[in-house]
A = this chain, B = another copy of it.
Amino acid sequence: MTKTEIKNIIYLGPEGSYTEIAADYAINNLSNHNFNRMLKSSILQVIEAVDNNSGDTGIIPIENSIDGIVRETVDNLIKTTSRVMITGEIIIPISHCLVSKSDNLAKIDKIISKPEAIAQCLHFIESNLHKNIEKISAPSTSEAVKNLIDLPENYAAIGTSKAAEIYGLKIIAKNINDEKDNLTRFVSLGSKTPERTGNDKTSISLSTCNKSGALVDILLLFKENNINLSYIESRPAKKVFGDYTFFIDFEGHIEDSNVQQTIGKMAPLINFYRILGSYPKCKKLYL
């Protein structure tokens, strides 16, 4: 491909994050643009940055095969009043490394990472590290690895091998996640709906009206119009139990006539809906 126009790609950093690995794939394989990289320290900051600069691309994680959806992503996409939309998806395998300044496992008595990453390596930690190891939270795995630069040799981080290389640290152990089949799905964000490919997905959020059975009626509309749902999740809508916003993924594109008919017929059943994006389905795993 000839790379011409320069665009911004904004993603969850710092350098060496899993999101950067997804962004690298998108830059090298899915686009014919040259990209200027902008790294942010939270998912919300990525969403806000894309919203403020139409034409920019964002990359954030949305679902892990073990933990389920990334609540920070879905809650912020649902809540936002912006025009940010999902423009694509990228699935990559997650392989956690134990990283430190020293390669002496016996020295390690503090471990730092994103709580989800620590939870995914509990068996390794319990079998190989100090019984009373202190677990320190970091906002991301790559932030955890970066923090090691200013910390003594008794700290280890859980993160990517890429982050270990970038920050000149030692990899004590590779692929330490308890479940070896650990995948994360990332989405790209933008301000323009990609063209229909015939193998697309649409993500919407909606809240139902108070009518009993409204959710079932909505799902039935999808079925009657031959639209397969691929995901449904309830997120708390207000601070009252029993009041939820639904996040729904289905097969099809917003330009498909059966999708448009379904959304039209939903009108009496909902309080609001927001199209979060129509985008090509990810057909394969990358890396």
Which of A229, A239, A241 neighbours the largest number of chain B CB atoms within 10 Å of its CB? A241
Interfacial chain B residues near A115, Cβ < 8 Å: 115, 137
A21 at the interface (CB under 8 A from B): no
Q: Which of A29-37, A65-73, A80-88 forms part of the interface with chain B?
A: A65-73
Asked if residues B213 and A216 are in contact (CB atoms below 8 Å), the reply is: no
A137 to B118 Cα, complex, angstroms: 10
Given contact pairs A115-B137, A135-B136, A228 touches B240 in the complex (Cβ within 8 A): no
A209 at the interface (CB under 8 A from B): no
Interfacial chain B residues near A222, Cβ < 8 Å: 216
Q: In the complex, which of the residues B66, B239, B240 contacts A239, with contact meaning CB atoms closer than 8 Å?
A: B66
Q: Which of A158-166, A175-183, A255-263 forms part of the interface with chain B?
A: A175-183
Interfacial chain B residues near A183, Cβ < 8 Å: 239, 241
Asked if residues B232 and A234 are in contact (CB atoms below 8 Å), the reply is: yes
Asked if residues A232 and B230 are in contact (CB atoms below 8 Å), the reply is: no
Given contact pairs A115-B137, A134-B136, A135-B136, A68 touches B236 in the complex (Cβ within 8 A): yes
**CB within 8 Å of B: which of A34-70?**
63, 65-68
Interfacial chain B residues near A137, Cβ < 8 Å: 115, 118, 135-137
A65 to B238 Cα, complex, angstroms: 8
A74 to B134 Cα, complex, angstroms: 27
Q: Mask for A97-125, Cβ within 8 A of B = 1, else 0?
A: 00000000000000000010010000000
Could you list 7 further interchain pairs (A-B, Cβ under 8 angstroms) beyond the known A65-B240, A215-B229? A91-B241, A115-B115, A115-B137, A181-B240, A215-B232, A219-B220, A220-B220
